[in-house]
Amino acid sequence: MNRSLEMAVIIIGALLTVAGVVYMAGAVIWRGRLSDPVPSAARPDRPTPNLATPGPTLEPRRRGLGFLGLSQNWPGLLMMGIGLILLLSVAVL
């Protein structure tokens, strides 16, 4: 393979991998505060939530690990997968 083509594939693979990580981190941040048991868009006039500890906390009582689900993170995982395949293809060839 041509050296310039190899470099282009490596750069594209690295960019896709980093973009996938940034997308997944941004998706978690944009979903709302971790201390809200329900996202703020879903509760327009709800009273203060019943948290595990009083006051501001990052330990909510009812919020699960839904932000790690495949249905919400598939674009980031796809970008990371394609990037890793491109990086491995250059290493193998």
Q: Please list, residue by residue across 72-88, b when 16 or more beta carbons sit within 10 angstroms of its beta carbon and e when fewer do.
A: ebeebeebbebbeebbe
Looking at the domain assignment, is residue 57 inside a domain? Answer: no
Looking at the domain assignment, is residue 56 inside a domain? Answer: no
Looking at the domain assignment, is residue 91 inside a domain? Answer: yes
| pLDDT above 90 for 87 | yes
How many domains in the chain?
1
| pLDDT tens figures, 35-80 | 555 555 555 565 655 545 566 666 656 555 666 677 788 899 999 9
Which residue range forms the structural domain that includes residue 90?
Answer: 1-30+66-93
Looking at the domain assignment, is residue 6 inside a domain? Answer: yes
pLDDT band, very low/low/confident/very high, at 93 (cuts 50, 70, 90) = confident
| pLDDT tens figures, 13-32 | 999 999 999 998 888 777 76
pTM listed for this prediction? 0.64
- CB neighbourhood size of 11 (10 A): 11
